[in-house]
């Protein structure tokens, strides 16, 4: 191997490493507190204080900036960077839950799963890492994770009383499984794409 070829291969390896690192960082993300307001919007923040009526925080990307204050009545949940969470909700009366039709409960279950279910990151990240090493090997966790039902402890449902209703439960769990499947296969696709790009670069560098 001559010197020019050696330099070219070294440059290609650096490019491939940079691509893999960027994809991994993008997929896994950075840790921060997340404030979810009742409209469904997520605010990336550093929570400073939670009082009986207010939440004080700084924007995550500007922690030296101003302190913001939000009424707790506007917030449905805070997910902290250490994995814990606080839920803020008005308890529904039993008669209100009973009065809802099966279709309404099913649709509410789907909507709540889209809003609250977040415990798919472990399955998605495991598939991504394995797939980056080998797309074929990555198929194993992808298939296992996408076909298995989300564990009850990971469902993160907002109301235990509603989960006792079969229509709500079916709507919530069905949607949660779809979300989990989508995340797992998306990450496998990312890993597969990275491997294809890496292979093309290596072939091109050898010519």
User: pLDDT tens digits, residue range 167-206?
Assistant: 999 999 999 998 888 888 888 889 888 888 888 888 877 6
C-alpha to C-alpha distances, 191 to 6, 28, 139, nearest whole angstrom: 27, 13, 11
Per mean pLDDT, which range of 12-16, 25-29, 150-154 is the poorest? Answer: 25-29
Residue 121 and residue 34 in contact, taking contact as beta carbons nearer than 8 Å? no
d(CA 79, CA 83): 7
pTM above 0.75, yes or no: no
**Residue 71 falls inside a structural domain:** yes
Asked if 73 and 54 sit in the same domain, the reply is yes
Tell the residue number behind the tokens 């989300």, with chain if given.
Answer: 150
pLDDT at position 16: 65
Asked if 165 and 192 sit in the same domain, the reply is yes
Asked if 113 and 186 sit in the same domain, the reply is yes
Asked if 67 and 153 sit in the same domain, the reply is no
Asked if 108 and 176 sit in the same domain, the reply is yes
C-alpha to C-alpha distances, 53 to 43, 59, 88, 158, 190, nearest whole angstrom: 18, 20, 11, 20, 43
> How many folded domains does the chain comprise?
2
**Residue 193 falls inside a structural domain:** yes
d(CA 116, CA 114): 6
pLDDT at position 35: 92
Residue 103 neighbours by CB under 8 Å, 6+ apart: 167
Residue 83 and residue 77 in contact, taking contact as beta carbons nearer than 8 Å? no
Asked if 118 and 188 sit in the same domain, the reply is yes
More confident residue, 146 or 98: 146
d(CA 142, CA 136): 10
Asked if 23 and 53 sit in the same domain, the reply is no
Asked if 17 and 48 sit in the same domain, the reply is no
Asked if 135 and 68 sit in the same domain, the reply is no
**Residue 85 falls inside a structural domain:** no
Host domain of residue 143? 3-31+92-206
Asked if 98 and 25 sit in the same domain, the reply is yes
Model confidence pLDDT, tens digit, residues 27-86: 444 458 999 998 878 899 999 998 888 999 999 888 888 999 999 888 999 988 877 888
Model confidence pLDDT, tens digit, residues 125-142: 888 888 888 888 888 888
pLDDT at 10 over 70: no
d(CA 195, CA 147): 24
**Residue 86 falls inside a structural domain:** no
- What average pLDDT is seen over the chain? 79
DSSP 182: H
* Among candidate residues 84, 88, 156, 70, the one with its CA nearest the CA of residue 119: 156
Asked if 112 and 142 sit in the same domain, the reply is yes
């Amino acid at each position: 191997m001559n010197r020019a070829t050696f330099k070219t291969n070294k440059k290609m390896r650096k490019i491939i490493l940079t691509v893999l690192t960027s994809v991994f960082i993008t997929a896994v993300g950075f840790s921060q507190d997340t404030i979810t307001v009742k409209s469904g919007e997520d605010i990336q923040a550093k929570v400073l204080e939670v009082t009986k009526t207010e939440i004080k925080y700084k924007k995550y990307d500007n922690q030296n900036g101003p302190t913001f204050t939000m009424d707790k009545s506007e917030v449905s949940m805070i997910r902290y960077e250490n994995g814990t969470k606080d839920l803020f909700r008005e308890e529904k009366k039993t008669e209100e839950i009973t009065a809802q039709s099966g279709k309404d409960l099913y649709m509410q279950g789907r909507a709540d799963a889209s809003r609250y279910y977040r415990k798919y990151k472990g399955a998605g990240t495991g598939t991504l890492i394995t797939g980056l090493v080998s797309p074929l090997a990555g198929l194993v966790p992808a298939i296992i994770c996408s076909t298995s039902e989300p564990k009850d402890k990971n469902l993160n449902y907002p109301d235990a009383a509603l989960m006792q209703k079969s229509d709500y439960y079916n709507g919530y769990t069905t949607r949660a499984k779809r979300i989990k499947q989508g995340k797992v296969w998306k990450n496998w696709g990312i890993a597969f794409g990275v491997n294809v790009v890496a292979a093309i670069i290596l072939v091109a560098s050898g010519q």
